[in-house]
Amino acid sequence: MNDLFSRHIADIVPVIVALRRDLHAHPELAFAEHRTGTKVREYLSALPNVKLLPPLLGTDVVAILNPDRPGRCVAIRADMDALPIVEETDPAKVPYRSTVSGVMHACGHDAHTAMLVGTAMVLSRVADQMPGKVKFIFQPGEEDVGGAEGLCAKGAMANPKVDGIFALHAWPNQPVGMVSLRRGPAMAASCSFYITVHGQGSHGAYPQRGVDPILAAAHIVTALQTIVARNVAPIDAAVVTVGALSGGVASNVIPSECQMKGTIRYLRPEVGEHVQRRVREIAEHTAVALGAAAEVRLEAGCPPTINHERMCDLIERTAREVLGADWFLGDEPPSLGVEDFCYYGEHAPAAMFRLGVRPFGQESYPPLHNPRFDFNDEATGRGMQMFCELARRFLAT
């Protein structure tokens, strides 16, 4: 291929694959990405035409290509954190598996980070042909704690002001190197709920003298599942999951209380409000019906990630023209996973695409957050190519 980037990408991919594997071997949890951030800084500080900015949250890295060039500024974001999971990949196939017990890159953030470093390396070489500025945002804490929200609050999308932002996510159930996209709401909004069921403790042999909070909790768990089945329209998407339930210590004692917590996912705000109201009503009234009392606390999480129409057009056109029409899978269904990329979209047009990792001919691939997930390095060059082309085309229009 005879374009601006291909030769440089081919040159740099082996370095980036090695970096990705190094990051995979040394995963760090949210807001503890010290080694990862330092590595990224090391790579970027060696690049001509790239200026590193002081950290905003501690472990983040924000850098700008062509900081003094007039024109628009496009941003590309990568997340750097790993998950509290014990890795179960085959050491014969993944010799670079996690060296940190109980911490693992099971969401592909090692690859997102490495590919964005690679993109900065390529763009640095052709900086004089980039008609504007490119901001590289390496964010901490995507899993569960909202590093994006913090970075945005500290001005990551300002100075210079970002005019549009892209990101990608590794996508297991999609052929390697293929790009897909969900227009509009692409990833879910979330809300956590915490329920304490108060009963009255008693001897396990004399239940009539107490109020059993475990029985009430069991009824609540079951009744919560009627929300999606009976209160949400079948064509709307929502999830109610109870992820933790605890109460009691002895086999012959009815405890005085019991706790549960869970998550609500949805794509449309109206659906979310309705589900939250029903969670509260069902928990409180079911408990009362059984003589107990439920205390319900709802905690808002991320809003939905909504892909901007114009940015989606650019991703689709770029994938079709640069990778080839066959490499673009079209508009895929939304996911009820949560992505804190949503916060960048509050400051500039934003869109995130999916990059396949499943080898051709293979029917399945370990899902994200699975202890056997590992990014497929064969997708590395295509991820970098998309990032480079999107940046150039965004600035040129």
Of 21-29, 43-51, 92-100, 107-115, the segment contacting Zn ion by CB under 5 A is: 107-115
Tell me how far CA of residue 383 lies from CA of 167, 328, 351, 356, in angstroms. 10, 13, 15, 10
* Structure-block tokens of residue 105: 């890159």
Specify whether the CB–CB gap between 325 and 338 falls below 8 A: no
What are the helix and strand counts (H, E) for the chain?
8, 16
| Token code pair at residue 295 | 């205390």
**CA atoms of 28 and 82, how far apart (whole Å):** 5
How many whole angstroms separate alpha carbon 232 and alpha carbon 272?
10
Give the residue with the Cβ less far from Zn ion, 187 or 220.
187
Min dist. Cβ of residue 106 to Zn ion (A): 7
Applying CB under 5 A, which part among 105-113, 144-152, 340-348, 371-379 lies near Zn ion? Answer: 105-113
CA separation for the pair 139, 14 (Å, rounded): 24
Residue number, 142 or 212, with CB nearest to Zn ion: 142
Residue nearest Zn ion (C-beta atom)? 107
61 vs 254 by CB, closer to Zn ion: 61
Cβ proximity to Zn ion: between 107 and 336 the closer is 107
Among 17, 29, 82, 107, binds Zn ion (CB under 5 A): 107
Is 126 within 8 Å of 8 (Cβ atoms)? Answer: yes
**Per-residue DSSP letter, 200:** B
Q: Which residue has the tokens 């059984």?
A: 290
Closest distance to Zn ion from the beta carbon of 313 (Å): 24
Is 120 a binding residue for Zn ion by CB under 5 A? The answer is no
Minimum distance from residue 187 beta carbon to Zn ion (Å): 10
CB of 91 to Zn ion, least distance (A): 23
Q: Tokens in use for 103?
A: 């911490």
How many residues bind Zn ion (CB under 5 A)? The answer is 1
Would you say 66 or 113 has its CB closer to Zn ion?
Answer: 113
Binding track over 294-323 against Zn ion, x by CB under 5 A: ------------------------------
CB of 108 to Zn ion, least distance (A): 6
Q: What does the buried/exposed string (b/e) look like for 78-91 if buried means 16 or more CB atoms within 10 Å of the residue's CB? A: bbbbbbebebebee
Q: Mask: binding to Zn ion, 39-78, rule CB under 5 A, as x and -? A: ----------------------------------------
Asked if 191 is part of the footprint of Zn ion (rule: CB under 5 A), the reply reads: no
Closest approach, Cβ 100 to Zn ion, in A, equals 17
CB of 145: closest distance to Zn ion in angstroms? 12
DSSP string, 320-352: IIII-GGGEEEEPPPEEEE-GGGGGGGTS-EEE
Q: Which is nearer to Zn ion, 107 or 227 (CB)?
A: 107
330 CB-contact burial (10 Å; exposed 0-12 / middle 13-18 / buried 19+): exposed
CA 212 vs CA 215, 216, 255, 390: distances in Å: 6, 7, 7, 59
Could you tell me the smallest distance in angstroms from the CB atom of residue 79 to Zn ion? Answer: 6
Identify which of residues 266 and 341 has a Cβ nearer to Zn ion in the complex. 341
CB of 369 to Zn ion, least distance (A): 6
Instruction: Judge contact between 84 and 178, C-beta under 8 A.
Output: no
Stretch that binds Zn ion, among 4-12, 94-102, 106-114, 171-179 (CB under 5 A): 106-114
Query: Looking at beta carbons only, is 74 or 107 nearer to Zn ion?
Result: 107
Using rule CB under 5 A, residue 115 touches Zn ion: no
The structure tokens listed for 78 are 């990568």
Name the phi and psi angles at 309, rounded to 5.
-55, -50
Residues that bind Zn ion (CB under 5 A): 107
